[in-house]
Structure 1
Amino acid sequence: MLSNALSIAFWTCLFLVSFTYIIYPLLILAFAYLFGRRTPRYVAVKLQSQAASSAAPIANLDESVPTLSLLIAAHNEEADIEARIKNALALDYPAGKLEIVIASDGSTDATNDIVRKFADRGVRLLAYSLNQGKASVLDKSVPRLNGEIVILSDANTHMEPDVAQRLAAWFLDPDIGVVCGRLVLTDAKTGKNVDGLYWKYETFLKKCESRLGALLGSNGAIYAIRKALFPGIASGTIIDDFVIPLDAKLQSGCRIVYDPDAVAYEETAPTMRAEFRRRVRIGAGGFQSIGMLWPLLSPVHGWVSFTFLSHKVLRWVCPFFLLGMLGANALLLSDPLYASTMGAQAAFYALAAAGNWLPAQPRFLRFFRLPTMFVSMNAALFLGFFRWCLGRQGGTWKRTDRTNEGVSLPEAQPVGSGQ
């Protein structure tokens, strides 16, 4: 009967939405506890303590650490690039072992001129005349780097001074191919940590997935990869920081780990419109990446196939489950049970709409904004799907508007504090 088919559709959609957002986090926590392993952190402190207790001079220790290349892709970043370069120059790493490279993607402002001012301090400029998109710039620039390890970052990101040491130290383990650091979102005017509940939720998932050896991608603001494992990336790739690490894993079988103590800071989007546009782009990139990384869904890839399906694929198609729930429910209103579920859905979406007008303070009100965030995120994914289908989401970028204050490192934020 039609009503039975609609009932099955409704409860299946409800289960899949609940699975990816509620059940999966509980499962991944249990699996990480039961089957995961605590990877020892090969932090720089260990290396320093070894040097302090050794008769060998510090210079010998400097010779043993890998060479690094910090690659920052930029497009029309004249407002931020000088501060970003100064932050990079302040990284604590042995002299001669770290190169800083700015890859300018068709910048038409003063970005290139500002970078050239730092040439006498070893900062290299790779200037591309056309705006080709970040993926193309990375694909062309990485082979031109000198470091054994490549740290990828953005022009609006500021790193703690010990980030280079912490990321590099992980590569003492030859099985590790990619290391993702922790990005802290800050308010540009106050410098305070403004990580929301959703960001903390995602950080929790990263920690669990990392313990299972099934971390999915990285954050483009702060991650490192062995240059030899860099897989190359197709022009027009939208979410390169997701595709590059997983493609490296697909090709080499390397491990991807998460280090919450390697900390970088980035300013949040100044407006809801800018944040929504960013999420639409991520949504389009997510659907694109399925076509690139679908072999990872095979069970032969173990935990990665489980996390990729549960954490990413099901979440990206969640807008269609929500619409399926709503449509099936509307056709079953004659049943009192489904009249009540429709009432619950209506109340949820009304609360989501009301959340747009809730004040930021007091802090407990943020819990009432969760429906707003959830609906907005799924609306962005829905729009991103159609932008991907129509080919309207290209790989070239438009600089995100930011406040004039830029990013400042929060003085009260301890580097070693995990989320």
Structure 2
Amino acid sequence: MLSDALALCFWACLLLVAFAYAVYPLLIFVFACLFGRAAGVSPAIGREPDGAAGERGAPAPAVSLLIAAHNEEAAIEARILNALALDYPAGRLEIVIASDGSTDGTDDIVRRYAGRGVRLLAYAVNQGKAVVLDKSVPRLAGQIVILSDANTHMEPDAARRLVAWFADPAVGVVCGRLVLTDARTGKNADGLYWKYETFLKKCESRLGALLGSNGAIYAIRKDLFPGVSPGTIIDDFVIPLAAKRRSGCRILYDTRAVAHEETAPTLRAEFRRRVRIGAGGFQSIGLLWPLLLPTNGWVAFTFFSHKVLRWACPFFLIGMLVANVALLGTRPYDFTLAAQGGFYLLAALGNWVPTRPRFLKCLRLPTMFVSMNAALFLGFFRWFFGQQGGTWKRTERAPDGANPLPGPQTVELGR
């Protein structure tokens, strides 16, 4: 009967959403405790790397810090000074700025630091970050490449901590921890969702099934860099997993290798960024689908549960609503429709919920959830119709540190 099919659709969609956001975190925590390696322990050295320049007395590896930039005149000098302040052995750290068709003063600012060892790779045409990385990495001198962004500031010991893990030959990629800061106050703006994503990263890392990296701070062996196809949208997700697919290397997450980045200053900028990530997510399924095969073990489980199901949630939510409306007038579907209506009403009102006292922020979670899924939904169609290109539009930043948005509204989403 039609009503049975509609009921099956409703409950299946509800269970899939619940699994993606609630059941999976519980399962991955249990699996990490039962089957994962002790957090932070490298089997090659029998302990957690202490961030020394080299493990077991070995000389520090040659490292290249590659920062891709497009029209970053306002931020690039501070980024260069931050890179020059990194605590890494003299002569072993190469700092390279890859300017992707910048038309402002970015290139001129970088050239001023040539005498301090900062190298400029200037590309005349804006081709997109994926193309710039693909062209630039082979031109680097380091054995290890640290990839970062122009608006990111790394802690002085971050490079040492990332590189120390590569004493283990099985490690191919190491992701650092990104701390979000409020542009107006400079204070930590990590919200509940970002903490939730960080928790998942820790658990997945223990199982050897970490998915992608933070583009702001991650390191990869140069000889494992897989190359990036033109038009790749979320390169920091595709590159590490493509390297793992090709070599079987481990991808790790080090919470002590820290970088700071300001949150987007406007809802429009944040939503646009989420749409781009959504489009990139759907694109990456086509690029990385072999990792979903059961032979890939934990990676297949985390990729499907954490990413594919999450990206499909907008369609599950629509399926729930449509099936529920069609079942109206039968129990318990009058109640479930009222519950859905109440949830979406809370989401609509969430922008007006005050941020103080602190516990009221929880009332804004429906707003964030609906906004995120709306962005994923739009991202799907931008990907499907080929409207999301690989070239970038510089993210709006708060002028003079003025950020009008408090709290969770500005929290960056994990990929």
TM beyond 0.5:
yes
| Kept in 1: contact 2:55–2:164 (CA 8 A) | no
Which amino acid counterpart does residue 340 of structure 1 have in structure 2? Answer: F
Find out whether 1:26 has 2:26 as its counterpart: yes
| Kept in 1: contact 2:51–2:160 (CA 8 A) | no
Query: Secondary structure of 2:395's match?
Result: coil
Q: CA deviation at 1:43?
A: 6.1
In structure 2, what is the equivalent of residue 40 of structure 1? 41
Residues 377-388 of structure 1 mapped to structure 2, 5 A cutoff: 377-388=372-383
In structure 2, what is the equivalent of residue 9 of structure 1? 9
For structure 2, which runs of at least 5 residues remain unmatched after alignment?
Answer: 403-415
Separation of aligned partners in 2, 1:333 and 1:73: 53
Which amino acid counterpart does residue 25 of structure 1 have in structure 2? Answer: P
One of 358, 366, 369 as aligned partner of 1:363: 358
With normalisation by structure 2, the TM-score equals 0.94
Residues 297-376 of structure 1 mapped to structure 2, 5 A cutoff: 297-376=292-371
Residues 69-218 of structure 1 mapped to structure 2, 5 A cutoff: 69-218=64-213
| Kept in 1: contact 2:351–2:367 (CA 8 A) | yes
Q: CA deviation at 1:48?
A: 7.3
Find out whether 1:224 has 2:225 as its counterpart: no
Task: Classify 1:44/1:113 alpha carbon distance in 2 versus 1 (closer, same or farther; 3 Å).
Answer: farther
Separation of aligned partners in 1, 2:33 and 2:147: 31
Residues 270-289 of structure 1 mapped to structure 2, 5 A cutoff: 270-289=265-284
Task: Classify 1:113/1:44 alpha carbon distance in 2 versus 1 (closer, same or farther; 3 Å).
Answer: farther
Which amino acid counterpart does residue 13 of structure 1 have in structure 2? Answer: C
Q: CA deviation at 1:75?
A: 0.1
| Kept in 1: contact 2:64–2:145 (CA 8 A) | yes
Query: Secondary structure of 1:167's match?
Result: helix
Task: Classify 1:148/1:381 alpha carbon distance in 2 versus 1 (closer, same or farther; 3 Å).
Answer: same
Q: Deviations over 1:291-318 (max 9, x none)?
A: 0000000000000000000000000010
Q: CA deviation at 1:357?
A: 1.1
Separation of aligned partners in 2, 1:254 and 1:218: 14
Separation of aligned partners in 1, 2:359 and 2:65: 40
Separation of aligned partners in 1, 2:238 and 2:278: 14
One of 239, 242, 267 as aligned partner of 1:244: 239
Q: Deviations over 1:39-84 (max 9, x none)?
A: 4267664647989xxxxxxxxx5x7111100000000000000000
Separation of aligned partners in 2, 1:336 and 1:384: 35
In structure 2, what is the equivalent of residue 410 of structure 1? none
| Kept in 1: contact 2:173–2:218 (CA 8 A) | yes
Which amino acid counterpart does residue 344 of structure 1 have in structure 2? Answer: A
Separation of aligned partners in 2, 1:50 and 1:318: 44
Separation of aligned partners in 2, 1:85 and 1:353: 42
With normalisation by structure 1, the TM-score equals 0.93
Query: Secondary structure of 1:179's match?
Result: strand
Separation of aligned partners in 2, 1:337 and 1:180: 46
Q: Deviations over 1:190-218 (max 9, x none)?
A: 21101010000000000000000000000
Separation of aligned partners in 1, 2:257 and 2:35: 25
What is the aligned residue count?
397
| Kept in 2: contact 1:231–1:248 (CA 8 A) | yes
In structure 2, what is the equivalent of residue 260 of structure 1? 255
In structure 2, what is the equivalent of residue 415 of structure 1? none
Query: Secondary structure of 1:171's match?
Result: helix
**RMSD of aligned C-alpha atoms?**
1.5
Q: CA deviation at 1:405?
A: 3.6
In structure 2, what is the equivalent of residue 394 of structure 1? 389
For structure 1, which runs of at least 5 residues remain unmatched after alignment?
Answer: 52-60, 408-419
| Kept in 1: contact 2:231–2:390 (CA 8 A) | yes
